Each structure stands twice: as structure tokens, then as C-alpha cells.
Amino acid sequence: MANSWRRNQQIKIFTPKNLLLFFFTSLLLLIFLYLTSQTQPHNPKPLKSLKNSIFNLPIKPFDCYNSPQAYPVIASVVEGVKYPFLFSLSDFGNLPEKPHKNIQRVLKGKPFRKPDISVTVQELLEKMKGENGIFLDVGANVGMATFAAAVMGFKVLAFEPVFENLQKICEGIYFNRVGELVEVYEAAASDHNGNITFHKLVGRLDNSAVSATGAKLAFKSNEEIEVQVKTIPLDEVIQETERVLLIKIDVQGWEYHVLKGASKLLSRKKGEAPYLIYEEDERLLQASNSSAKEIREFLHSVGYNHCTQHDINKHRRGCHQAFGSIINGLINGNGNCAGRKIQLIKDVTFNSKSNLRVVEVKAADSDKETKVRSIVCQKCEGNGAVACSQCKGVGVNSVDHFNGRFKAGGLCWLCRGKKDILCGDCNGAGFLGGFMSTFDE
């Protein structure tokens, strides 16, 4: 049979229906491409002000929104704090041979180890909940204290001069959703306006410092980088009407200069002056041409008479304005010192040669005031203490820890078996016959 065929009818492409379909498809594609091409911000915009007005400062807040994103991002929640928060690591350790301990924990499915300062900040602010005021975090690092306060609802003003740490603070602001509570400044708090040379250690940014010697005390082999950072006194940041509840200072030996720049703030009358936490490491202080004695004398001059050691960090001290004596009030004749019963300890001076504090005491059996050495020693090296919070396993009259609890016949940590009333290394938290005592720093 012969094959037969006919020509197919020509297909019309550009019909109104096809053109309309093509138009809408193209429009949807263009919208999709536009949206996916927009860079999503990794960090929230920083708080414009901790109040309803903008701070009138010589420097502007760090711009988290427009700062470049650091990679990689390793962040996790912190274990063991009442108010959980996240922070992001800036130092990763020596990869891949010896990563940071928190990286090892994350790989094992564990949260970050809790920083001691975070616990301290939350415990102090817990007692201030409901009060209207701000938290100053000076030497914020990656925000471990900042976020500990912010997740509790407190407003935070943070100072951090290391750019890499600032990037991690910005990440933490986003992770913890506290953009309306935290404002951060790329500056070093000090006692003057200007610029200063700052020494960063590659791989150990948490140990960076103003002093090159101070920066390398713990990590001598790390490469050092010098950068110029802005300095600003806290007195120029905080207005007289702004209440500050708590200040935390950890600046690798620069603490004295920070405190001097906050003299007006610290000189506020009792009830309005902030609680203070600061680091007191004599090695770092000397590297920055200051000393613990200089800090304590300054704090005493602005009314901070009550200082105690905080948590397990032997260099961390907490201070507040309170009338203090080595032993508050009467001992009721229960204590015995140098063979005589003490009623009242009246005054304290510092003897730099002997490292002893000389106190005036009024003996129970005499109206005369008698100077007695060795009642309080600074280091517990030769005179120890009857009650001290650090006695290295040596039994003492009554102590449990340095947080106000006591237990008869308890043990304490660092007084080398010697006997005395108080040991200076305990930072004032000692006991005599169950009577709580405090240091007059």
C-alpha cells in the first residue's frame, strides 16, 4: 500500500496565552533571584542607646551590622549557669593538633564550660533584679559577662579593644537575641582620652594587653601584634543621672587606669555607687607600672572599704562601699590575740616592709590601745591565720569557704599551718569564733 502523508499544521508559539505565561514565569524568577542575592545580616543592629536618647560620646558604638563576619563560627550554650546563654569562641587553640578545650567539648556533644565570671555576675545581679540600672563590662573579651547579664534583662555597656573579640560579641548579640540590651564600644577604658598602643597575641586574644610584657607573661611564644586603640574614661561615658549597678574590670594589668578614669562614678554616695569586680594580678599590674597597693589605696579614697575575694579566681576581687573594720563591731570577748582578748579593732595601716597589717586593738582588760602585729598578714607566709579562706588543708578555728559560711573545725586552703586572726590572701573573708569578719581595704 502506498504511503501517504499530509503536512502538519504550523505550531503558533507567540500566542497571547503563551506570552502571558512566559511573563509571569520570568517575573517570579527575577523576584527569586533578587531575594536570594541579598546578603542576610549575621548580626543585629546595635542598640542606639541604653536610654531613650543617644549617648553623646567621643566615640561611636561598634557597628555590628556592617562589620565583616568572622569565620569559622564556633558557638555553644554555657553549662551550669542559672540563666543560660551562648557565646562564640575567638581563639581555637592549635588546630588540628590541640584544639581549644571548648571545641573538644562541642565535638563530644557537651556545652561550653561555664566561665567563673559569668556565675559571679549572675549571682550579684540576681540580688539586684528589679532595680533600674546598667552593667558595665570593661574588657568584655567575647562577652561572657556581657551575655550573662543581658539574658537576665539587664542593659549592658561593654568595652573591648580587640577587633576579633568584637566580632564574636556581635555574634553573641545575635545568638542571644539581646540587641536591644547591649551596646559595645571598640575602645579601652582608661584615665584619659586619646590613643594607646595595644599588644595582641596571635592565638591568645584573651591575653592581649596594653603592656607587651603583660601580654606575654603567660604565653611567651606567641606572635605579638601592635595596634593603636582609642582610650576613654568611664566618667565621660556615664552621665551623673545614669545609675550603674555593677562594674566588671578585667584588662590585663590596666585596672588602675580604668579605676582612675571612673573616680566620679565610684565616688557616688553609698547606695548609688556601683558594686565593683576587678582583677588584681600583681605581675600584670607591675608590667603596667601600677600595683595592688596603689589600687587599694585609691579605692579606699573613694569610699570602697569592703573588698573580698570572689569565686575560685584568686585574683578576682569584689568591692562595695561600706564602713568596714578588720572585725566589724564587738567580738564580745570571745577572740584571743597575742594572749589578750580583743573587744574592738579600730584602725588598719599597711607595712610594706614586713607585709603585715598593723591594727590598733582595745584589750578587754585595759583602757589602753595596743598596737599588735601579726593580727593580719598579707600573704599568710609567716603568721597564718586562725580563720582564713585559703589554708591548704590546715585546720583552722572556723571556716568553710570565703562566702560567709563557716563550720567549726573546718579546713581552709592557703595559710601554711600558722596561726593568726585573718590572712590577707583571704581578702577579708575570715572568721573568729564564728563571728564573720571583713577587711578594711
DSSP string, 58-104: SSPPP-TTTSPPPSS--EEEBSS-SS--EEE-S--EETTTEE-HHHH
Tell me how far CA of residue 121 lies from CA of 6, 223, 278, in angstroms. Answer: 90, 32, 12
Residue 244 has a pLDDT of 96
Question: What is the residue extent of each domain of the chain?
Answer: 73-311+340-345, 385-422
Residue 441 has a pLDDT of 34
Query: Do the beta carbons of residue 189 and residue 160 sit within 8 Å?
Result: no
Question: What dotted CATH number matches 73-311+340-345?
Answer: 3.40.50.150
Single-letter amino acid code for the residue at 196: I
> What single-letter DSSP state applies at residue 426?
G
Residue 104 has a pLDDT of 82
Q: What is the mean pLDDT of each run of 10 residues along the chain (441 residues)?
A: 55 70 73 58 43 58 90 88 92 72 82 89 94 95 96 96 92 96 95 87 57 52 78 93 94 92 93 91 86 93 83 67 36 32 34 33 41 35 38 36 34 38 41 31 34
Closest CA to 392 of 376, 413, 368, 378: 413
Classify strands 98-99 and 93-94 as parallel, antiparallel or unpaired: antiparallel
Query: Do the beta carbons of residue 140 and residue 156 sit within 8 Å?
Result: no
Single-letter amino acid code for the residue at 279: E
Classify strands 430-432 and 316-320 as parallel, antiparallel or unpaired: unpaired
> What single-letter DSSP state applies at residue 55?
-
Q: Report the C-alpha gap between 123 and 116 in whole angstroms.
A: 11
Tell me how far CA of residue 194 lies from CA of 9, 57, 163, 228, in angstroms. Answer: 85, 13, 18, 10
- Three-state SS at 94: strand
Residue 383 has a pLDDT of 37
Neighbours of 205 (CB within 10 A): 19
Query: Do the beta carbons of residue 46 and residue 19 sit within 8 Å?
Result: no
- Three-state SS at 117: helix
Q: Is 289 left (phi over 0), alpha (psi -120 to 50) or beta?
A: left
For residue 155, the number of C-alpha atoms closer than 13 Å in the C-beta half-sphere is 17
Residue 224 has a pLDDT of 75
Tell me how far CA of residue 210 lies from CA of 285, 381, 386, in angstroms. Answer: 11, 32, 40
Query: Do the beta carbons of residue 284 and residue 209 sit within 8 Å?
Result: yes
Long-range contacts of 355-363 (CB under 8 A, 24+ apart): 355/379, 355/381, 356/383, 357/326, 357/424, 359/326, 361/337
Residue 166 has a pLDDT of 94
Sign of the alpha-carbon dihedral angle for 327, 331, 337, 342: positive
Single-letter amino acid code for the residue at 209: A
Of the chain, the end-to-end C-alpha distance in Å amounts to 120
Q: Report the C-alpha gap between 430 and 422 in whole angstroms.
A: 6
Q: Report the C-alpha gap between 313 and 423 in whole angstroms.
A: 17
Residues 350-409 pLDDT 10s: 333 333 333 333 334 444 444 333 333 333 333 333 334 343 343 333 333 333 333 333
Residue 243 has a pLDDT of 94
Residues 303-319 pLDDT 10s: 998 888 765 556 677 78
Q: Report the C-alpha gap between 251 and 199 in whole angstroms.
A: 12
Cell numbers at 402, concatenated: 570565703
Query: Do the beta carbons of residue 266 and residue 302 sit within 8 Å?
Result: yes
Classify strands 155-159 and 182-185 as parallel, antiparallel or unpaired: parallel
pTM value is 0.61
Residue 276 has a pLDDT of 95
What is the Rg, in whole angstroms, of the alpha carbon atoms belonging to the chain? 30
